[in-house]
Amino acid sequence: MKEVINIYKRHKLSIDNYITTLVASLPPDYIANAQSILSSHRYIQLIYKVDGEYRQISPVVCRRRSEEAHIHSDKSHYFAKLKLNDEGIYISNPYIHYRTGKASISVVVYRDGVYNVFDIHLIALLEELRLIEYNSFHDRFKKSVYALGSILLAIVAILLLLYGGYKLLVLFMQDETNFLHDVFKSIIAITLGLAIYDLAKQIFEHEVIFNSFHHAEDKEYKVLGKFLISIVIALSIETLMVVFKIALDDYSKMLSAFYLLLGTTIMFVGLAFFYKTIMGNKPEED
């Protein structure tokens, strides 16, 4: 939404001129010719009329249906700050449309004592004017792939969590067991499950639910960073488990534990350098 608005603001003058020209070229009776207007201009989402007292006097004509439920309803709250230009046209600021949930603008045309309202899909309009390149099929396909991948990751995470809980439960059901080994095994399974679930949640939120037109420059780094933090925590727990196990069983293998600890420390330092680099290259906000 933010990126779409920025593009709209940069080209607002040319877009407003295009809309003014478009309105002048349409048939005078907008409602009677609504279906031909909607089929010819795919970025127009709906059309309706409001009288001089700000009451709706026509059905809301959409692409696939016509709704009469709101005829005679009061629309004065929408027209409270309406300021028409010299051509009798008002173009609203971008907003999220209540029907479609998409970035939209409203265009009000005052003709013969009647306000004609057009709701326009902003992304489709920008695409029509060649100001952006947007492929709705590709966007839906990409969201589907990300949704499937994140759901599968979430299933794996839940299985790991259940396995960790099972290993913890087994401790109380067996007479003889390697207590430390099973406890740390349970902790590792649960930690990895949480790490994978957090990754799945990040992917689903950023790529499926809150997917914006353009990706934020540091969004991928945030997802990767959170996942790496979870992995470093899991490796730290694994290292601690190995150190304890070697300390209790065989001191001759302590060198292997040292190498594992050294590797985990290097990964931790690398993660810190990663964050320092990203934060250092992040542009300052105005």
* Average pLDDT rounded to a whole number, residues 258-266: 84
User: Could you give the number of structural domains in the chain?
Assistant: 2
Using a CB cutoff of 8 Å and minimum separation of 24, what contacts does 61-69 make? 61/31, 61/34, 61/35, 62/38, 63/38, 63/39, 66/34
Best-predicted range by mean pLDDT (2-11, 42-51, 211-220, 260-269): 42-51
- Report how far apart, in Å, the C-alpha atoms of 274 and of each of 76, 140, 199, 247, 285 are: 54, 32, 18, 33, 21
The one-letter code for the residue type at 42 is R
Higher per-residue pLDDT: 34 or 141? 34
Output the pLDDT for position 48. Answer: 95
Its domain, for residue 119, covers 2-128
Check whether residue 186 and residue 214 sit in a common domain: yes
Interhelix angle 254-281/219-249, rounded to 10 degrees, is: 160
Across all residues in the chain, what is the average pLDDT?
82
Q: Is 87 helix (H, G, I), strand (E, B) or coil?
A: coil
Q: Render pLDDT for 139-194 as a digit per residue (tens, 0 to 9).
A: 778 888 988 998 999 999 999 999 988 888 887 776 655 676 677 778 778 878 88
Output the pLDDT for position 20. Answer: 92
Check whether residue 40 and residue 70 sit in a common domain: yes
Output the pLDDT for position 176. Answer: 58
Query: CB within 8 A of 240, min separation 6: which ones?
Result: 184
- Among 104, 128, 152, which residue terminates a domain? 128
pLDDT confidence bin for 135, thresholds 50/70/90: low
Tokens of 253: 């293998």
Check whether residue 41 and residue 121 sit in a common domain: yes
CA 53 and chain centroid, separation: 40
Output the pLDDT for position 80. Answer: 79
**DSSP assigned state of 80:** T
Check whether residue 63 and residue 7 sit in a common domain: yes
Q: Is residue 218 over pLDDT 70?
A: no
Tokens of 1: 């939404």
Check whether residue 143 and residue 276 sit in a common domain: yes
Check whether residue 37 and residue 151 sit in a common domain: no
Q: Is residue 72 over pLDDT 60?
A: yes
pLDDT confidence bin for 5, thresholds 50/70/90: confident
Q: Render pLDDT for 83-134 as a digit per residue (tens, 0 to 9).
A: 898 889 999 999 888 877 788 999 999 998 899 999 999 988 988 888 876 5
pLDDT confidence bin for 223, thresholds 50/70/90: low
The one-letter code for the residue type at 173 is M
Higher per-residue pLDDT: 44 or 189? 44
Check whether residue 43 and residue 141 sit in a common domain: no
Output the pLDDT for position 270. Answer: 84
- Among 111, 128, 145, which residue terminates a domain? 128
Q: Is 110 helix (H, G, I), strand (E, B) or coil?
A: strand
Answer whether residue 189 is part of any domain. yes
Query: Residue 49: which of 116, 133, 146, 144 has the closest Cα?
Result: 116
Output the pLDDT for position 283. Answer: 47
Higher per-residue pLDDT: 166 or 257? 166
pLDDT confidence bin for 213, thresholds 50/70/90: very low
Tokens of 184: 């740390």
Burial class (CB in 10 A: 0-12, 13-18, 19+), 181: middle
Answer whether residue 286 is part of any domain. no
Check whether residue 234 and residue 159 sit in a common domain: yes
Q: Which region, left, alpha or beta, applies to residue 112 given φ > 0 means left and ψ of -120 to 50 means alpha?
A: left
Higher per-residue pLDDT: 127 or 49? 49
- Among 128, 157, 180, which residue terminates a domain? 128
Output the pLDDT for position 209. Answer: 67
Output the pLDDT for position 201. Answer: 84
Q: Is residue 265 over pLDDT 90?
A: no
Query: CB within 8 A of 80, min separation 6: which ones?
Result: none
Q: Is 69 helix (H, G, I), strand (E, B) or coil?
A: coil
* DSSP code string of 246-286: HHHH-GGGHHHHHHHHHHHHHHHHHHHHHHHHHHHHSPPP-
- Report how far apart, in Å, the C-alpha atoms of 232 and of each of 72, 163, 202 are: 63, 20, 18
